Amino acid sequence: MSPVPVAARALPTAGTIGAVRLFGVPVRFHLSFVLFLGILALSVVEGGAGMWRDFVFIVALFVSVLIHELTHALVARRYGVRTLEIVMYPIGGVARLDRRPRTRDELWIALAGPLINLFLAAGLLSWLTWVGQRAELSATWSIDRFLARLALGNLALGLFNLVPAFPMDGGRILRSLLARRYGDLRATLVASRVGRVLAVAMGAYGLVSFNLILMFIALFVYLSALQEARAHTGQALLTGVPVKAAMVSEFHTLAPGDTLAEASAISVRTTQQDFPVVLGDQLLGLLDRVALLRGLAEHGADAYVAGCMDRQPLVFDSSMDLG
């Protein structure tokens, strides 16, 4: 799938475990992915040699997906965009970027993933053609057959991701091409509309063919295309609006030496959700209601605010653009 820009701090995606670093990029695995592999492994134990072949093939295919996402990350780095993490799901992978690339850069970042899969497919098929038919290792297992399946799998990954619909790379490629003529917002809306039309067609075919997986993919594509259009429209509306136009100018602050009991007393008297912790004119951190309640439960009312506050809150200059 295409890389997803995230305008937030580099916090791990909820529900993920592990943090393998490849080329400096954290790779994490969603719990659903771990569960999927676990169920698959149990099936292998009970299914014999045939299931082992399928298990090895699926793992190799996920490695291809990981290579796809890493390629996005490395090309994004080339254009000065940092990848916060790569998250692996049972349905694929997602590269989270720290910001959205410029339109002309997004074209190459999005195109890089499918191209690497097509390159892998071409390389494997070329190698198989060059070596010709080889003797099988057994009556049921052939390296050539395995590599041929892997080549076709990469071909399918590359072509599917080129479908011009969000969240696939093809949707971002289409937007990048359209934006050169129609502007960013209109290009996003057109690309989103194309994606939804394709999703409806895909869903209709899945319905008449009783293909539940295709119907699920169609629903996923439709909702993703709709979300992309809404998010981009919201961003366009906020472009040119400074942070100071939306910020609260009157609020309660806490001192690092205040107790959680004192913070609670202030909290019940106001609807304020977040409390800056300051010492003089210096911002030391932020205490929100969730952290306050957690601190009360874990440390008691006499604990100090300094021990429960977030010491690295997101800070924006009042003149910054909300978009």
Which backbone phi and psi does 63 adopt, to 5 degrees?
-65, -40
DSSP class of 302 = T
DSSP class of 200 = H
Pairing of strands 16-22, 25-30: antiparallel
Number of H helices, E strands in the chain: 9, 7
Q: Which of 69, 85, 106, 228 is catalytic?
A: 69
* Alpha-carbon distance values, 139 to 44, 135, 181 (Å): 19, 10, 57
- Give Cα 12 distance to the centre of its chain: 11
DSSP class of 135 = -
DSSP class of 47 = H
Asked if residues 275 and 266 have their Cβ atoms less than 8 Å apart, the reply is yes
Task: Say whether 69 is catalytic.
Answer: yes
Cβ burial of 249 (10 Å; 0-12, 13-18, 19+) is exposed
Please give the structure tokens belonging to residue 64. 């291809």
Asked if residues 92 and 101 have their Cβ atoms less than 8 Å apart, the reply is no
Please give the structure tokens belonging to residue 120. 């892998």
Asked if residues 207 and 214 have their Cβ atoms less than 8 Å apart, the reply is no
Omega of the bond prior to 167 within 30 degrees of 0, cis?
yes
Catalytic residues: 69
